[in-house]
């Protein structure tokens, strides 16, 4: 019942804050990686280069699907923003369902921007079904398709090191985040501005995906404080020998 209560509380907070944020947009703290992402999107449109968005290999019917859904929300917004570009963004993924949803999201983004003719089936790709085949498939996109910025966001493992190295070698910009701890360690060691932990889920808010994304960040902050207080309170009870 505690879990259900937490879920209901979260849902109510999300709804309430979303309506509030529609009236008063949030002031978000500066995250250098997302600043660079927004700059890279503008530059790619202006100089006729591509964005490469890699959504990882998150399985949507597992608990790790959250990062894939966050990536899709960001992709939707980026598709709208780059709809005027000569070269549409290329999306690579390592999960078949995710690849199909990425195509659907690209199409919906172009439709919303009134540029449906921009959509090509080949821009949403399944590059491989195992971690390394996915990475090696995405490498050819980074090397061969006139990419100026790579956005790697989703469930990846250590194989993400190959993507980072390829982006570095091509001298292209890289914005990378993962929900996997080993991939986060790889990104911390090898990228310019790594996104750590839940910063992955802030992508939508920072690319202007709407009030619900900004509200999500606030709800996350509130829940985080609740968890911190619960941990401290539980530790104190344990310290005084209370039965918990």
Chain residues 19-58 in contact with another protein, contact rule CB under 8 A: none
- Closest approach, Cβ 22 to another protein, in A, equals 11
Chain residues 134-173 in contact with another protein, contact rule CB under 8 A: 135-137, 140, 143-145, 158-159, 161-162, 164-165
CB 172 within 8 A of CB 149: yes
CB 54 within 8 A of CB 154: yes
Beta bridge partners of 176: 152
Q: How far apart are CA 99 and CA 68, in angstroms?
A: 10
Q: How far apart are CA 92 and CA 4, in angstroms?
A: 36
The residue among 83 and 103 lying less far from another protein, judged by its C-beta, is 103
- Using the contact rule CB under 8 A, the part of the chain among 34-42, 46-54, 211-219, 236-244 near another protein is 211-219
Chain residues 101-140 in contact with another protein, contact rule CB under 8 A: 101, 103-105, 107-108, 111-112, 121-122, 124-130, 132-133, 135-137, 140
- Using the contact rule CB under 8 A, the part of the chain among 20-28, 45-53, 198-206, 232-240 near another protein is 198-206
Among 24, 63, 239, 240, the residue binding another protein under the rule CB under 8 A is 63
- Closest approach, Cβ 42 to another protein, in A, equals 24
Going by C-beta distance under 8 Å and a sequence separation of 6 or more, which residues neighbour residue 180? 155, 156, 157
Q: How many residues bind another protein (CB under 8 A)?
A: 81
Measured between alpha carbons, how far apart are the two ends of the chain, in Å? 17
Residue appearing with tokens 């539980």:
234
Among 149, 175, 200, 207, the residue binding another protein under the rule CB under 8 A is 200
Among 99, 149, 174, 175, the residue binding another protein under the rule CB under 8 A is 99
Q: How far apart are CA 54 and CA 235, in angstroms?
A: 41
The DSSP symbol for 84 reads: T
């Amino acid at each position: 019942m505690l879990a259900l209560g937490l879920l209901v509380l979260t849902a109510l907070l999300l709804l309430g804050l979303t309506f509030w944020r529609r009236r008063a947009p949030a002031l978000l703290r500066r995250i250098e990686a997302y600043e660079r992402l927004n700059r890279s999107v503008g530059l790619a449109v202006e100089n006729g280069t591509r964005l490469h968005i890699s959504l990882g290999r998150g399985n949507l019917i597992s608990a790790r699907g959250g990062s894939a859904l966050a990536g899709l929300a960001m992709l939707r917004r980026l598709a709208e923003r780059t709809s005027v570009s000569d070269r549409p963004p290329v999306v690579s993924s390592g999960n078949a369902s995710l690849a199909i949803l990425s195509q659907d999201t690209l199409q919906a983004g172009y439709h919303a921007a009134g540029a449906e003719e921009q959509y090509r089936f080949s821009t949403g790709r399944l590059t491989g079904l195992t971690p390394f085949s996915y990475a090696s498939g995405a490498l050819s996109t980074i090397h061969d398709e006139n990419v100026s910025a790579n956005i790697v966001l989703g469930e990846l493992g250590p194989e993400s090191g190959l993507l980072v190295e390829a982006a570095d070698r091509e001298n292209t910009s890289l914005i990378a985040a993962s929900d996997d701890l080993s991939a986060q360690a790889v990104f911390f060691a090898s990228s310019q501005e790594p996104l750590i932990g839940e910063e992955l889920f802030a992508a939508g808010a920072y690319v202007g995906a709407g009030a619900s994304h900004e509200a999500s960040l606030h709800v996350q902050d509130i829940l985080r404080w609740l968890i911190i207080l619960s941990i401290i309170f539980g530790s104190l009870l344990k310290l005084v020998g209370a039965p918990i």
